Structure 1
Amino acid sequence: MAAPQSPGSPSPRTASDTVTLGRALLWPAAAAGLGMLLIYNSVGSPADDKPPAPPSVAAPAAPAPAPASASAAPKTADPGPSLPRSVPKRLRIPAIAVDAPFTPLAIGASGRLDAPPPNDKNLAGWFKDGVTPGERGAAIVAGHVDTTTGPAIFLQLRFLQPGSTVDITRTDGTVATFKVDTVETFSKAKFPDKRVYADTPDAQLRLITCGGNYDRTVKDYEDNVVVFAHLDSSKKG
């Protein structure tokens, strides 16, 4: 999942550049204390790196996933709202004009998380073996920033601000509304897997894409952008 280059970075790729896998994200299995390597595809050309009109760059972040069977979180005095398991259908982020359907993502034979198909610019991927958005724990959603055909769903993800809302419509007819807590960019070489993927006692959400400069040598972006959000409310759609 490619991402825009920062101003002053090397010129963008052309559509003829070879499609390659990006360096990745480590995801610890909370119950067993084991880790898994999650690597997202870097596909296509970097898109225009202009910030959107209203939002501006946000700041640092905190926790996130585990397989659904291992996602039972410890109880706290006030864990906040939560919902029963239900597969997500649609993602809406008004602040950055995102309105897209979901596709399930799985860990491939190599131990890497498959990326959303690169031929669809408006598609969000959800890690189907983790918690569903709204359940206690951290649901993982990934998307491309651009593809060989141009800008994609998470082009402006890094410009979300704390307090922005993320609406996820689920198959049970419920719309789960998450509020953004923080937005942070991490080096893929030093990705803080525990901070991003650790299990949580409340219902949280992680939105992940590529970011930073494009490294022509390894044909991948140097960073990952991560949005940390918590379940704020829910309603029947």
Structure 2
Amino acid sequence: MARSGRVVLAGAVTGLLLVAFGKNMQSTPEQAAAGVVPESIDIPSIEVEAPLMKLGLKDGEVELPPYEKPKIAGWYTGSAVPGDEGASVIVGHVDTKTAPAVFYKLRQVRKGEAVKVRRSDGKVVEYKVTAIEQVHKDDFPLRKVYVDDGLKLVTCGGKFDYAKGEYVDNIIVYATEA
């Protein structure tokens, strides 16, 4: 994802959306006490095996993994721990200025394919892809990504706008627990 793009704008609006829908995307008290977090993601169909880092909000926007670590994806800590009820969001870059990044092939994922997330408590949660969409960043589906149950994988895609230094679209993969 070039620069911060508008995925971060989606994060800025997320708080308002959650209030409107009355959902709490934070981990449960039991998870917080146990420190359960997702540690890695495995998408066999596109040969992705990557560690996950924690991503929070910074200045009201969802943080992104650092560009100097292109093979790492990030779990948004304001979302549910994968395997638990709620929306769980994992973000990764599509590329850097010089090379493909962790979610470079994300647009190639197809319905029915598996996504596995390993958690710090040893549990491996398996998901089945239910939908893939490419949307203009101005039309980012906030409710579907940040409120509706299931795993969402988000990266940039579409054409690159050199004037803005970012992609014009997002690629979003939706998955439900298998």
Determine the structure 2 residue equivalent to 1:103.
53
Determine the structure 2 residue equivalent to 1:227.
173
Q: Return closer, same or farther for 1:21/1:90 CA change in 2, 3 Å cut-off.
A: closer
Is 1:22 the counterpart of 2:5? The answer is yes
Q: Partner amino acid for 1:106?
A: G
Is 1:67 the counterpart of 2:17? The answer is no
User: What's the offset of the Cα at 1:217?
Assistant: 1.4
2:57 match: secondary structure: coil
Is contact 1:126–1:141 with CA below 8 Å preserved after alignment? yes
User: What's the offset of the Cα at 1:31?
Assistant: 4.8
Aligned with 1:147 (options 96, 99, 103): 96
Determine the structure 2 residue equivalent to 1:13.
none
Q: 1:113-132: CA deviations, max 9, x gaps?
A: 11001011210100012210
Q: Following the alignment from structure 2 to structure 1, what is the Cα–Cα distance between the partners of residues 92 and 171?
A: 11
Is contact 1:141–1:206 with CA below 8 Å preserved after alignment? yes
Is 1:212 the counterpart of 2:164? The answer is no
Q: 1:45-74: CA deviations, max 9, x gaps?
A: xxxxxxxxxxxxxxxxxxxx853169xxxx
Computing the radius of gyration from Cα coordinates, the structure with the larger value is 1
Is contact 1:121–1:144 with CA below 8 Å preserved after alignment? yes
Q: 1:191-227: CA deviations, max 9, x gaps?
A: 1212222243xxx100000000001111110000000
Is 1:186 the counterpart of 2:135? The answer is yes
Q: How large is the Cα RMSD of the aligned pairs? A: 2.1
- Give the number of equivalent residue pairs: 168
Q: Following the alignment from structure 1 to structure 2, what is the Cα–Cα distance between the partners of residues 94 and 118?
A: 23
Identify, as 1 or 2, the structure richer in helix. Answer: 2
Q: Partner amino acid for 1:67?
A: M
Q: Following the alignment from structure 1 to structure 2, what is the Cα–Cα distance between the partners of residues 136 and 21?
A: 28
- Mark the runs of 5 or more structure 1 residues left unpaired by the alignment: 3-19, 35-64, 71-83, 233-237
**Identity score, percent:** 38
